[in-house]
Amino acid sequence: MSKPVPETVITHENTRQPAAVGGHSVVVGRDKPLRLDCGVTLAGVTIAYQTYGALNADCSNAILVAHALTGDQFPVRDGGDGKPGWWEVMVGPGRPLDTERYFVVCINVLGGCMGSTGPKEVNPGTGRPWGLDFPVITIADMVRAQAMVLDHLGIDQLFCVIGGSMGGMQVLQWAVSYPERVFAAVPIATAARHSAQNIAFHELGRQAVMADPAWNHGDYLNTGTNPRAGLAVARMAGHITYLSEAALRRKFGRKLQDRDALSYGFDADFQVESYLRHQGSTFVDRFDANSYLYITRAMDYFDIAAEYGGHLPAAFVGTRVRYCVISFTSDWLFPTPESRELVHALNAEAANVSFVEVETDKGHDAFLLDEPEFHETLTGFLNGAADRHGLGRP
């Protein structure tokens, strides 16, 4: 209990206007506080979420979409700004997550910066933004908060929980923490534990943020600065890991940006440089630097076998969840062997598991893109599971 939080009912509701981002928001953990892995207890936590489609009469058609590191609660964006959501190809009428059949819920993670309680929001104990006083959160904490939102929505059991990358970690955490609340689980492009290489990349990103003087030891919201340069570099480094050499070569090669010859300087001569700079600068407009630190940390800490003496199958003993594990051939951030390790562990428990590796050169990002084989496989799995779950066939 390093950072005790007052056990009073805290109204985070007005610290940020949900209307600004659209969607819904709920305060959870008032009666029963949210107990975090780090030992801190949060009473009254605002969680922002969005829903699509309609919950059926027996509440059996709910799908929870878990977003990735820099995602949000809007896989489909119905705001007026014309910006598409991050999973428009997957969610909607006639899409694999068919909103005419399923009730799709997507929740901004605890620690996020799109309306859920996180380092950017006001600490009710001080009246100032949390900054680095915000407790370190884990994937399990995010899932605990999500479970509270589902309680609020009256959903006892999810038909399916699905997500890629960090979303996939949440999927696994759901299956392990709340097996009775999950009928089917689809962890995509993910792993049962964050690898040393991935922790290393995250540390690179965090150090870039922290090296920016504008970060101000995490207190930039109180000092009116913003570590834009640091966060942009973190995003650029991250973005490289989401792609593949083949995708970069196909997209950019060594093509020059708006020029016919090398400049013999440090401008963005190459298209790939210009692209990365653009990725960095647009990212800082929508993301909070401290949130980036907290959420990357949560991923680094993720190791679903840790509680089970490092023995992965023990996490899934007696599991009745139907799993569909999906990986992509060119994903070097969460390569197929990590999915395969998960599948071996599930087989060791004779779990109901499907495992598909999709051939693509688009790298880790493939899970966000229009990959017909991926979508067809997923649709087939969901149809089979829906049939078994009494939701009928389309």
Partner 1 sequence: MTEFQPRGRSDTIRVDLLVISDLIESGARVLDIGCGDGALLHYLAHNKDVDGRGIEISQAGVNACVRQGLSVVQGDADTDLRDYPDKAFDYVVLSQTLQATHSPREVLAELVRIGRHAIVSFPNFAYWRIRWQLLASGRMPETEALAAPWYETPNIHFCTIRDFVILCRDMGLRIEQRSFLTHEGKTGRFRSTGLWANFLGEQGLFVLRGP
Q: Is 245 in the site for partner 1 (CB under 8 A)?
A: no
- Choose among 103, 77, 89, 60: nearest CA to 22: 77
CB of 186: closest distance to partner 1 in angstroms?
Answer: 11
Within 10 angstroms of residue 258's Cβ, the number of other Cβ atoms is 9
> Measured from the CB atom, is 107 or 324 closer to partner 1?
324
Between 133 and 357, whose beta carbon lies closer to partner 1? 357
The span from the CA of 261 to the CA of 249, in Å, is 19
Query: Is position 128 an interface residue for partner 1 (rule: CB under 8 A)?
Result: no
- The piece of 137-145, 213-221, 244-252, 349-357 that touches partner 1 (CB under 8 A) is 349-357
CA distance 80 to 189: 31
Give 114 or 305: the residue with its C-beta nearer to partner 1: 305
Where does 223-337 show beta strands of DSSP type E? 322-328
Give the DSSP H/E element, type plus range, for residue 202.
Answer: helix 196-211
Cβ closer to partner 1: 150 or 185?
Answer: 185
Tell me: does residue 354 bind partner 1 (CB under 8 A): yes
Minimum separation from the CB atom of position 304 to partner 1 (A): 17
Under 8 Å between Cβ of 322 and 158: no
Helix (H, G, I), strand (E, B) or coil at 109: coil
Residue 308 beta carbon to partner 1: minimum distance, rounded to whole angstroms: 16
CB of 375 to partner 1, least distance (A): 7
Q: Of 354, 370, 292, 358, which Cα lies nearest the Cα of 331?
A: 358
d(CA 375, CA 352): 20
Catalytic site includes residue 281 = no
Judged on CB neighbours under 10 Å (0-12, 13-18, 19+), 259 is exposed
74: exposed, middle or buried (C-beta count within 10 Å: 0-12, 13-18, 19+)? buried
Residue 6 or 337: the one with the smaller Cβ distance to partner 1 is 337
Q: Which of 25, 60, 116, 165 is catalytic?
A: 165
Among candidate residues 331, 339, 354, 365, the one labeled active-site is 331
Q: Minimum Å distance from CB 302 to partner 1?
A: 23
Number of residues that bind partner 1 (CB under 8 A): 34
Strand, helix or coil for residue 296: helix
Using CB under 8 A, pick the residue from 16, 95, 101, 228 that binds partner 1.
95
Contact segment (CB under 8 A) with partner 1 among 3-11, 257-265, 280-288, 346-354 equals 346-354
Question: Is 195 assigned a catalytic role?
Answer: no
When binding is defined by CB under 8 A, the residue of 243, 353, 366, 368 that contacts partner 1 is 353
- Cα(161)–Cα(172) distance, rounded to whole angstroms? 9
Q: Closest Cα partner for 196 from 38, 292, 307, 338?
A: 338
For residue 359, state whether it binds partner 1 (rule: CB under 8 A): yes
* Rounded Cα distance, 146 and 87, in Å: 19
Residue closest to 283 by CA, chosen among 229, 204, 351: 229
Helix ranges restricted to H, the chain: 18-21, 139-153, 166-177, 196-211, 220-223, 228-242, 245-251, 271-286, 289-301, 336-348, 372-388
Known catalytic residue at 364? yes
Site for partner 1 in 210-239 (CB under 8 A): none
Tokens of 296: 């990357």
Using the contact rule CB under 8 A, the part of the chain among 48-56, 242-250, 267-275, 385-393 near partner 1 is 385-393
- Select from 1, 14, 58, 94 the one that contacts partner 1 (CB under 8 A): 94
Task: Kindly report the number of other CB atoms within 10 A of residue 54's CB atom.
Answer: 12
Using CB under 8 A, which of 270, 349, 369, 389 touches partner 1?
349
Helix, strand, or coil (residue 82): coil
Residues between 319 and 338 with contacts to partner 1, criterion CB under 8 A: 322, 324-325
- Cβ 345 to partner 1, closest distance in Å? 8
384 near partner 1, judged by CB under 8 A: yes
Q: Is 164 helix (H, G, I), strand (E, B) or coil?
A: strand
Q: Which stretch binds partner 1 (CB under 8 A): 122-130, 234-242, 269-277, 372-380?
A: 372-380
Active-site amino acid positions:
165, 331, 364
Site residues (vs partner 1, CB under 8 A) = 94-96, 98, 322, 324-325, 343-344, 347-350, 352-359, 373, 375-377, 379-381, 383-385, 387, 393-394
